[in-house]
Amino acid sequence: DMGISDRPSWCPALAAALLAGGVFVASAAPAAADDPADLKAQYRRPNEIPFPAANPYSDAKAALGHTLFFDPRLSGSNTASCASCHNPALGWEDALPVATGDGAKALERASPTILNLAWAEPLMWDGRKDTLEDQATGPIEAAGEMNQPMASLAAELSAIPAYRRMFREAFGSETISGPAIAQALATFERTIVSNRAPFDRWIDGDDTAIDEQARQGFVLFNGKANCAACHSGWRFTDDSFHDIGLKSADIGRGAFLPDLPVMQHAFKTPTLRNIATREPFMHDGSAATLRDVLAHYDTGF
Ligand code: HEC
Ligand code: HEC
């Protein structure tokens, strides 16, 4: 187990693919590098979720956000909820190469996971949203996604007594507005944190939590394979943007930084938490499996 996810298939995939590609030379990994304490410290998870002062946590707000997130009435057709594209059983994604929106039309990009976003900024593959509050109403109103104007959603929810009660408990008022919906959704989303993996127990000092192959994978990941140059820290992301040479025509972050050559075709580094449940991979869904991802990094573009 590479330990990034809870499933045991990670490390064999990484090690086998890298071995097959001839990148990993077993004798080049000195025994001492098996337990680099200072390196491991960089992967220690935080104990508490940060909530912003402008939208502090409350149980009532999180419960309301949870209800909203799974409610298909948020879409104009009453058929799609946030969870249609961010499904907890699929790593809070949808297992599709690119998302399917209103009217069963394909969108341009894959649905990213919403795990551990309390720590992540900016948001979206191209970084166009600064906060979860800014992001939350976007998909509701976007014609291609949930296709429901905010005024019509507010009216629809206001007619439901249980929602009026939940908004009162969360905000002290039964008035249902776009900003209140966004605050509740954002609060719920901040509570979505990946479970502790065997990797985390290993980082915390349980030497038997992951096997030898996984420990070698960690050395490779931080050393010769250089994955940690971008997939750094406990979420395995630098929250920055890189062009890793995929063939997609999408210019990603470049749309906002047209004068920066390095940002053309650059996309946000995805977290690798719970990666085994999140196939297919990349902003365009172009890598079906982890082996495909590793083959891309190994053989070049
Ligand atoms: C039709 C599918 C679909 C629906 C429905 C949907 N999303 Fe998304 N979501 C996406 C896609 C696709 C992206 C990435 C778009 C991009 O980067 O251009 C995304 C991105 C996000 C992100 C940014 C994640 C990150 O790592 O930067 C958040 C947060 C999010 N969605 C929350 C929500 C919420 C809350 C709802 C419901 C109000 C919702 N989504 C409904 C498909 C969907
Ligand atoms: C230069 C920065 C960089 C390096 C180095 C790097 N990655 Fe990535 N990685 C990215 C970016 C950016 C993406 C998303 C690219 C896209 O969709 O356009 C990505 C995507 C991925 C994905 C797919 C995740 C998903 O949610 O779709 C996996 C898995 C992955 N990388 C693993 C690795 C491994 C393993 C290594 C080392 C062999 C590595 N990466 C090295 C930046 C990097």
CATH code at position 175: 1.10.760.10
pLDDT (tens digit per residue) in 186-209: 999 999 999 999 999 999 999 999
Percent of the chain with pLDDT over 90: 85
User: Of 144, 161, 190, which one is at a domain's C-terminal end?
Assistant: 190
Same domain (yes/no): 167, 200: no
Residue 145 inside a domain? The answer is yes
- Position 36 scores a pLDDT of 74
- Among 190, 217, 234, the domain-final residue is 190
Q: How far is the CA of 270 from the centre of ligand 2 (A)?
A: 7
Can the peptide bond before residue 122 be classed as cis, meaning omega within 30 degrees of 0?
A: yes
Q: Is residue 69 part of a domain?
A: yes
Please tell me the distance between residue 125's alpha carbon and the centre of ligand 2 in angstroms.
12
Residues with CB under 6 A from ligand 1: 74, 80, 82, 84-86, 99, 101, 107, 109, 111-112, 114, 117, 120, 123-126, 132, 135-136, 139-140, 145-146, 185, 189
H-state helical runs in 97-246: 132-141, 150-158, 161-171, 178-190, 198-203, 212-222
Helices (H) and strands (E) in the chain, counts: 11, 2
Amino acid 107 reads L
Domain co-membership, 179 together with 124: yes
Q: How far apart are CA 154 and CA 177, in angstroms?
A: 6
Cβ(231) to ligand 2 under 6 A?
A: yes
What's the gap in Å between 246 CA and the centre of ligand 2? 10
The whole-number pLDDT of residue 35 equals: 56
Query: What whole-number distance in Å separates Cα of residue 90 and Cα of residue 41?
Result: 29
Statement to judge: residues 34 and 106 lie in one domain: no
Residue for token pair 């210019």? 251
Looking at the fold, whether 143 and 20 belong to one and the same domain comes out as no
Confirm whether 206 is domain-assigned. yes
Q: Is residue 50 part of a domain?
A: no
Question: For residue 211, how far is the Cα from the chain centroid?
Answer: 26
pTM across the whole model:
0.90
| Residue partners of 291: CB distance under 8 A and separation at least 6 | 13, 17
Say yes or no: 70 and 184 in one domain.
Answer: yes
Q: Are residues 185 and 79 in the same domain?
A: yes
| Higher pLDDT pick, 236 / 31 | 236
Split into its structural domains, the chain has a count of: 2
Domain annotation covers residue 246: yes
Domain limits for position 261: 10-45+196-299
Asked if the structure places residue 1 within a domain, the reply is: no
Over residues 82-104, the pLDDT tens digits come to: 999 999 999 999 999 999 999 89
Report the separation in Å between the CA atom of 188 and the middle of ligand 1, taken as the mean of its atom positions: 14
DSSP E strands in 199-284: the ranges are 241-242, 267-268
Tens digits of residue pLDDT in 130-149: 999 999 999 999 999 999 99
Instruction: Please tell me the distance between residue 253's alpha carbon and the centre of ligand 2 in angstroms.
Output: 15
* Protein residue whose Cα sits closest to atom 5 of ligand 1: 82
**Residue 24 DSSP symbol:** -
pLDDT in tens, 208-263: 999 999 999 999 999 999 999 999 999 999 999 999 999 999 999 999 999 999 99
In angstroms, the first-to-last Cα distance of the chain is: 27
Closest-CA residue to 63 (of 165, 173, 146)? 165
* Residue 255, domain member (yes or no): yes
Give the contacts of 258 (CB within 8 A, at least 6 positions apart): none
Last residue of a domain, one of 149, 170, 190: 190
The CB of 270 under 6 Å from ligand 2? The reply is: yes
Closest-CA residue, ligand 1 atom 40, reads: 82
The CA angle 171-143-62, to the nearest 5 degrees, is 25
**pLDDT in the model for residue 16:** 35
The rounded Å distance from CA 112 to ligand 1 centre is 7
Atom of ligand 2 nearest to the CA of 281: 27
